Amino acid sequence: MAEQIQIGMTVILFVAGISMLICGLVIIMTREYQEAMRSLAGQSSRLSGKALADIGVQAALDGAAHLLESITRLVQTAIGTGAFLCLLGTIICGLAFWMLTMVHG
C-alpha cells in the first residue's frame, strides 16, 4: 500500500514537472510582445518626424518612449519567468525519477 502511494506521488510530481516545462517553453516561444514592440518602434519614428514640426507632439513622443521601455521590460520578465519554469520543471522531473528509483531500489 505504501509503495503504491509513493508511486502515485512520483507520477504526480513527474506530470507537474512536465507541465511546468511545457508552460515555460510556451512563455519563451510566444512572440506576442515582440510584435507590439515592433509596431510601437515604427509609430514612434513617425511621431519623432512630426515632433520636429510641432512642439505639441513632444509629449506624445515621450509617452511612446516610456511605453516602449515598459514593453521591453515586460518581454524580459516573461522570458525570465519562462526560463525559471523550465528549470523548475526539469528539477521536479529529476526528483520524481529519483523517488522512483528509491521505491524500486
- pLDDT attached to residue 33: 65
Looking at this protein, which amino acid is placed at residue 42?
A: G
Rounded Cα gap, residues 81 and 73, in angstroms: 12
**Residue position matching grid coordinates 519562462:** 82
Helix (H) or strand (E) holding 32: helix 32-51
Residue type, 87: L
The amino acid at residue 43 is: Q
The pLDDT tens digits for 37-67 are: 666 666 666 656 665 556 666 666 677 677 7
* pLDDT tens digit sequence for 33-43: 666 666 666 66
Q: What is the mean pLDDT of residues 11-36?
A: 86
Q: Does position 31 have pLDDT exceeding 80, yes or no?
A: no
Q: What is the mean pLDDT of residues 66-73?
A: 75
For residues 4-11, average pLDDT: 92
Cell of 73: 521590460
Number of structural domains the chain divides into: 1
Q: What is the mean pLDDT of residues 17-44?
A: 79
Domain that holds residue 91: 2-103
